[in-house]
Structure 1
Amino acid sequence: MQYYALVGDLKQSRQSSDRKALQELLLGTMNSLNIRYTEHMAALLMVNSGDAFQGLFFLDAPILEICDRIRYALSSQNGIRMGIGFGSIETAIERKQSILADGPAFWNARYALAQVQDHDYYNTRTLALRMGENCHEQLETLVNQVLVLQDQVASKWKNTQLELARHYLSSHGYERVSQTQVAKEMKLSTQQVNTTVQAMGWFAFLDTRKETERVLQTVLGGVDS
């Protein structure tokens, strides 16, 4: 059976002025996602080594949405790196202890994380995908280039733009909702939200993200288990 493994860490977390608050935020984010996406999880998201985390997901999981919820929940911090790996698991899977699981899915995830670290595109890259040798290589290359480009776009978001991304993703994920609704939720004017959304290219970003995820689910979900 094939899975998505997710591994990640916080950049420069040891330099945080309040590491306890940072760890509590990370733990709270993991716990919230474990509740929201529990039916998509083979092993729950967990924190290890203080600022690192991992989880194991079934192929129907909205994996990019989950990564974005993690990223923007923690966007007030120094940054985050994540690697997604596709593949099998060769050990027993303990649902509450994903750290005990191992196999190609996690090997590929760690490889992807190393790619984010080694090829960071001027410190803007946050996410990479690895499917393994001789496995949908063209799709992997295309998805990674889309992710790089979107990271470049998102790296330029500041202040209200980041607040909008954080609020939107935490409240709605990739679901399309009206700007009027977002304005009401954020206690901003519709004009403010409209201006922010246009400056960010928000809905183009969101639609591209959602379509990339749909393609992954369609192609990889059809792989023989």
Structure 2
Amino acid sequence: MAMKAETSLQVALIGDLVGSRRHPSRAVAQEQLIAALGVANEVVPAVQPLAPTVGDEFQGVYPDVATAARAALVVRLALAGDLDTRCGIGVGSLEIVGSSDYGLTQDGPAWWAARDAIVEAKRREGGQTKRLRTWLEVHEPGDRDDTPEIDVPLVNAFLLCRDDLVTRFDARQRRLVLGLLRGRTQKDLAAEERISASAVSQSLRRAGAFSVLAADELLAGSTS
């Protein structure tokens, strides 16, 4: 018996690895991606947790734009070495049409919007905003009255600025910000890094990390 299609309004996220073809080992790169997705799934609540699909891609579903944006951030922070990711976030209806080895088989405007968003993010990387890694698109809702009010240009302005800062983080700064997002204290992080708490604070302040974290909280409050 065919599965009955279910449609709802959701926030879809599609991501891929940046520069994975230049990695010495594609297998190691894939292992590191899967580990980073696991961290994101621990830290960020999802409607459908992030999971790898085909090639270097992964996808997930979130309850709102701010949560999806945070998940994209956590994946970037959790990756090791020179690996990075690019993400498209799409808002629209989402249809569950079946299941597969990768999880639920889905289709619909949320995924189309997420695909358009990741294409746009990649296009913009080729210009003056080369550090951009995340973009948002909202599918035209037609006559639906349950579409949340989202200021798309404002969210994308936030993503442009956030990604520019995060792309400049060094490996330690990524670990520190990820630690704070996981609820660790600066004292805990200092002990793990074998540096002083003052050095942790100075590193985070110098990188603009506190602004990234504060902006993340403000976005969550504005889109909830």
Q: Does 1:77 align with 2:86?
A: no
Q: State the alpha-carbon separation in 2 of the partners of residues 204 and 174 from structure 1.
A: 17
Partner residue, 1:6: 13
- Cα deviation for residue 98 of structure 1 reads 4.8
TM-score by length of 1: 0.80
- Cα deviation for residue 44 of structure 1 reads 3.2
Q: What is the CA deviation profile of residues 191-217 of structure 1, one whole-angstrom value per residue up to 9, with x for unaligned ones?
A: 21122122112212110122112222x
- Cα deviation for residue 78 of structure 1 reads 3.8
Query: Which stretch of the first structure deviates more once superposed, 142-151 or 86-95?
Result: 86-95
Q: State the alpha-carbon separation in 1 of the partners of residues 17 and 130 from structure 2.
A: 13
Partner residue, 1:118: 123
Cα gap change, 1:14/1:99 in structure 2, threshold over 3 Å: closer, same or farther? farther
Match of 2:177 among 160, 168, 177: 168
Q: Does 1:189 align with 2:196?
A: yes
- SS, match of residue 210 in structure 2: helix
Task: Look up the equivalent residue of 1:11 and give its one-letter code.
Answer: V
Higher strand share: 2
Cα gap change, 1:82/1:163 in structure 2, threshold over 3 Å: closer, same or farther? same
- SS, match of residue 131 in structure 2: coil
Correspondence 1:192-211 to 2 at 5 A: 192-211=199-218
Task: Give RMSD over aligned pairs.
Answer: 2.7
Cα gap change, 1:58/1:92 in structure 2, threshold over 3 Å: closer, same or farther? farther
- SS, match of residue 139 in structure 2: coil
Q: State the alpha-carbon separation in 2 of the partners of residues 62 and 22 from structure 1.
A: 25
TM-score by length of 2: 0.81
Q: State the alpha-carbon separation in 1 of the partners of residues 86 and 42 from structure 2.
A: 22
- Size of the aligned set, in residue pairs, is 210
Cα gap change, 1:98/1:109 in structure 2, threshold over 3 Å: closer, same or farther? farther
Matched residues, percent identical? 26
Partner residue, 2:4: none
Match of 1:109 among 114, 117, 136: 114
Partner residue, 1:140: 152
- In structure 1, the gaps of 5 or more residues are 219-225
- SS, match of residue 107 in structure 2: coil
Q: Does 1:49 align with 2:54?
A: yes
- Cα deviation for residue 178 of structure 1 reads 4.5
Q: What is the CA deviation profile of residues 126-156 of structure 1, one whole-angstrom value per residue up to 9, with x for unaligned ones?
A: 1011122377787110010111012222233
Task: Look up the equivalent residue of 1:194 and give its one-letter code.
Answer: S
- Cα deviation for residue 82 of structure 1 reads 0.3
- Cα deviation for residue 30 of structure 1 reads 2.5
